[in-house]
Chains A and B, each alone.
Chain A
Amino acid sequence: MKFLTLIVFLGSQLFSFANTIVVGKDKPISSITKGIELAKNGDTVKVYPGVYREGRITINKSITLIGINFPVIDGQKKFENMVISGINVKVQGFHFIDSKHSSSEDFSAINIVDATKIIIQDNKIDNAHFGIHLANSTYCTIMGNEISGKAVSEQSAGNGIHIWKSSHAFITNNHIQGHRDGIYFEFVTDSEIRNNKSENNIRYGLHFMFSHNNYYAYNTFRKNGAGVAVMYTHHVRMEHNMFEQNWGTASYAILLKDITDSWILDNQFVSNTVGIFMEGCNRIDVKQNLFSKNGWAMKVQANCVDNVISKNNFKGNTFDIATNGTMVSSSFDYNYWDKYEGYDLNKDGIGDVDYHPVSMYSMIIEQNPNALILLRSFMVTLLDKAEKAIPSLTPENLVDKKPKMRPFAL
């Protein structure tokens, strides 16, 4: 009983300490900077609608900053809008516009440095250089933000959500468009990226390097200049993501470079120039994905080892698999290929004839890209058939020994 009284007492103390400071254009306190100055740890600062031009707003104590009906924080193209450091800060419901742009420094709308447990929620960020920039921080949540940029060239543009040397970040329900990279990670570990939408960025929808043990799920990446590129990372998990319409001469739904021990499961790759491009990748499971209407469903370079490509549906791709050599050390068994022409005598659902997913013509195009003009001509069809009968050019051991007769229900 004593214990309970103590709790009630402490609780009431806690509530009495947490003050709310109101900031508004027609209120006694009319500037956000002033409001933050007056606030103590644990306080809430409520900001009423209006346009606030205060240069750089700095938060370095544990407060909750809440905007009502999206008050505008204007960087006037001269300042970073907000800098946050410390612990337990929440920023919600603001509209950040016109942060400072630079081609040499990483200015951003919200800059979070050396911080822990920061929540950035339901903000709108327009025309920022970098949208949200997170550095050397842990346990931060970036949630439900609408980030939209006006990137023109790769050199002058910044990223939507940029995270550097952090861990345990949680990025969810954000919508990012018109930046250089939608989401950019470098040295970020143990983080979760869920349910975001990244589109129309001029370079990559998602780009990460040296970011281990991260989990990407239910995100959509579409119409980005060069799709998604991930490099030099191990233990990545990508599930239920949607990659679509990443078109271009150097555009990949996912470019995997030196990725090891990772999982690419239940994703959809629709209408990309190249679905998955793998280079120097080891021990990746590519399972239960749908590849549909891509130019090349997968390009697996000869330096990839011990990858397992299984239980995927390949439908309506111009080419299923392309490779650049005869060395194949990955397994391609037990997939559904719509181009498979074999039969199934014992009715176990698995074709009795092996399927070679690399067509001769895809090898020819690899050597001589101009030959693409003859795609689907009678001549090429004949060459492909001849190659199927007597393989000479295509890698012999790139083969599905257990091709499925019917598509998997994914």
Chain B
Amino acid sequence: MMKLSKYVLYDILRSKIIIAYTLFLFIVSLSLFQMEEDSSKAMLSLMNIILIALPLVSLVFTTIHYYNSYEFIELMLSQPLSRKKILLSEYTGISLSLLSAFLIGVGIPVAFYAASETGMAMLFTGSTLTLVFTSIAFFASVRARDKAKGIGFALLLWFYFTLIYDGIVLLILFSFSDYPLEKFTLLISALNPIDLGRIFIMLKMDVSALMGYTGALYKDFFGSGTGLLFTVGVMILWITLPLWLAVRKFRKKDI
């Protein structure tokens, strides 16, 4: 399995896209910190990149890579290797490369300019989101045989998680504003990894605002030990569940 992951990693490095991605992240985060005299403002822009661009890149890169290495996968399938192993080593290779790109590209500037709690929260969120969306992309691409369909599906998922979902939540909050929705909002935040990551960063960044009104409730929950455990647990669920579904589908799939 490790051997296979190594080959996937070599393959990805050879295509140089991942290097370009690393450089892009590095230059963007560095220039953000250089440009803004106040590092908190740079962190804000960086958070938007982590919450929006990172999932998109993870999704699209993974789907394209999966379809491009389809022949390689077919070749591997003719070897005495279990299907589960093949898919998992593909996942390990891709997620490791994306993760290291993120940790080098964003991690180094953050460590230099903003090695605070907010910075750490951002690195945690970025890393988990990379893993989550790689996993979701696997789920999407295993389901669809057609490349265009697979990428389309992945993009739709990205739209859903970054935009549509929040729109629906806002709609619900306004339609049912007469009811006590505090517990409900806690629950729905767990159903979207991007929201969960955003709240996790926000707890460190907008502490003052969160102390007011209902914010105190979120702060009490997510700021506590249980809240942290909850966040990490849900994130792990978001990583394993789509991957597990993808593996299950891939095992029975007619290649």
Residues of chain A touching chain B, judged by Cβ–Cβ distance below 8 Å, are: 247-249, 251, 271-274, 293-296, 315-319, 338, 365, 367-382
Give the one of A319, A370, A376 with max B CB within 10 A: A370
B165-191 contact mask (Cβ, 8 Å, vs A): 1 or 0 = 011011001100100011001000100
Identify which of residues 199-245 in chain B touch chain A, using a CB-to-CB cut-off of 8 Å: 199, 202, 206-216, 218
The answer to whether B199 touches A370 (Cβ under 8 A) is no
Residues of chain B touching chain A, judged by Cβ–Cβ distance below 8 Å, are: 38, 40-41, 44, 47-48, 51-52, 162-163, 166-167, 169-170, 173-174, 177, 181-182, 185, 189, 194-195, 198-199, 202, 206-216, 218
Q: Which residues of A contact B41 (CB under 8 A)?
A: 316, 338
The answer to whether B163 touches A318 (Cβ under 8 A) is no
Q: Closest residue to A407 on the B side, CB-wise?
A: B37
Kindly provide the distance from the CB of B210 to the nearest chain A CB, expressed in whole angstroms: 7
Q: Lowest 5 CB-CB distances: which A-B pairs, in order?
A: A295-B209, A379-B166, A318-B209, A295-B208, A247-B211
Kindly provide the distance from the CB of B63 to the nearest chain A CB, expressed in whole angstroms: 21
- Count, A-B residue pairs, CB within 8 A: 105
**With A248-B216, A338-B41, A371-B170 given, is the CB distance from A271 to B207 under 8 Å?**
yes
Q: Complex Cα distance A293/B210, Å? A: 12
Is chain B's interface secondary structure helix, strand, loop, or mixed overall? helix
Q: Complex Cα distance A293/B208, Å? A: 7
Q: Which residues of B contact A370 (CB under 8 A)?
A: 173, 177, 181-182, 185, 214
Q: Which residues of A contact B216 (CB under 8 A)?
A: 248-249
**With A272-B208, A295-B206 given, is the CB distance from A377 to B198 under 8 Å?**
yes
Q: Which residues of B contact A371 (CB under 8 A)?
A: 170, 173-174
The answer to whether B213 touches A369 (Cβ under 8 A) is yes
The answer to whether B166 touches A295 (Cβ under 8 A) is no
Q: Closest residue to A250 on the B side, CB-wise?
A: B212
Kindly provide the distance from the CB of A167 to the nearest chain B CB, expressed in whole angstroms: 37
Q: Complex Cα distance A251/B207, Å? A: 13
Kindly provide the distance from the CB of B55 to the nearest chain A CB, expressed in whole angstroms: 11
Q: Which residues of A contact B177 (CB under 8 A)?
A: 367-368, 370
